[in-house]
Structure 1
């Protein structure tokens, strides 16, 4: 099982498939790189080198007590990319991973990053405030933390419904997708699962978005119940210099079904363009 050790001694799992231009994928909370399994195979099959890691505290990576914050996540990603000496990198991030790749590209990626792709990403900032009235109230994130502490197994099962939009009328519910969400979530350590809520909800990426000097493709479903589009993609596109926004009608937060198929086609097209 390939791993690398960060500068603070944390062992992180990663996969490295295929050859060609490197594409580095970062997953959402509370998942692992398995969330990108289909995309990793797709990219490798199309002549790219697909690399994805399990964020510290998640998946098969170590579970340190400290470092469950966005600056450390971005530094971990930087150390992986530097350690593999990757160049002309395309970054892809979903949800929390979207924040991670934006911060990495803005603060660490000079001379290495070619393009950025985000899907259902948390930037600019999720939590509601006077300056961000479209954001999600802090009480919602307090509820997530409470769910993680009280019974995270049941909480992750329940969360899978809005995550994939399976709670919408007429939705075709995949028990397999729900089970895999639960499986990945339960691999996350309770400390990382708890502290990452603050990282994804309260980190302000405004200046990171402004600093990006490479093309960015911002994908977002207009029925995203986890990261509502009004406080996320619709604001991010106004902050970046070289951005393309695509809104996926009726798409949820989780990358699944018709949304996944369309997004995967768009990912390949954007990378090639």
Structure 2
């Protein structure tokens, strides 16, 4: 069932709410919408889960204002939905920029209403490279995306979609993914991309204190696997699941494994902390600050 929930600045967010049981709140990636999780919305309600998909402002069926695309504002949007639906002991599952927003939510709102966290291909701790942080994408890559968005947004979406998965899939799948991308508003596409460039979550990671699963494709060309390893090291009681045959969209590249890992984590107890060695990612240099 779909409904609109109005947040503090009078923006109306579209929220899909299907099933009964433990609530799982899905936050989509850029420049998509909640429909990217349609297979999970088919599977999980059969297993006793309530699937809640939020279209972020500027995307899907939600309002598309010019302002309000900072991580803080969008994290507050998530809080407004959780409060309106009176959710308790929910699982927060964020993909790509949705993962970044989930991290900010856990920090800014002290994990209100959340008992478990899932970060999928998360654009965190920082999507771009910064001083003392060489792991993200070059800032020039984001600037090129912004130029392409302003000159030929449909082609930009096509080019970006080609990086999304390690396996190209069918022409119909490519058209489906492209349609979701072009359905986004131009302003939402631009402003969230600017936030991806400007926001830094390194100070938020230590605020996460719930069991956390980190899903990441080893062949991810959008958010490199090093980001997942950094998250794993920085979040106590986290579990890193690497999808060896996947790019950014591991839920499409390895759907069977994704389904198994997702349902296993949802049903399981608290996960153990696993150590990351220096062979995985070098963090002991004084040039690197997490």
- Normalised to the residue count of structure 1, the TM-score between the two structures is 0.94
Aligned-pair CA distance for 1:62: 0.7
1:240 matched to 2:238: no
User: What CA distance in whole angstroms lies between the structure 2 residues aligned with 1:149 and 1:26?
Assistant: 25
The answer to whether the 8 Å contact 1:78/1:109 transfers is: no
Partner residue in 2 for 1:150? 151
Matched, 1:252 2:224: no
How far off is 1:202 after superposition? 3.0
Kindly state the Cα deviation for residue 35 of structure 1 after the two structures are TM-superposed. 0.4
Q: Secondary structure at the match of 2:10?
A: coil
Partner of 2:17, secondary structure, is strand
Structure 1: stretches of 5+ with no match in the other structure: 166-170
Shift of 1:109: 4.6
- Using the TM superposition, give the Cα deviation of residue 126 of structure 1 relative to its aligned residue in structure 2, in angstroms: 1.6
Gaps of 5+ in 2: 269-290
For the 8 Å contact 2:243–2:250, the answer to whether it is kept is no
Residues 219, 246 of structure 2: 8 Å contact kept = yes
- SS for the counterpart of 1:207 is coil
Q: Which moved more, 1:72-81 or 1:178-187?
A: 178-187
The residue aligned with 1:168 is none
Q: What is the match of residue 219 of structure 2?
A: 223
Q: CA RMSD in A?
A: 1.3
Higher helix share: 1
Question: Does the 8 Å contact 1:156/1:181 carry over to 2?
Answer: no
Residue 210 (structure 2) aligned to one of 210, 214, 222: 214
Deviation at 1:207, TM superposition (A): 2.2
**Count of residue pairs brought into register by the alignment:** 267
Runs of 4+ in 1 over 6 A off after TM superposition: none
Superposition pairs for residues 1-273 of structure 1, below 5 Å? Answer: 1-165=2-166, 171-230=167-226, 232-273=227-268
In the superposition, the TM-score normalised over structure 2's length comes to: 0.89
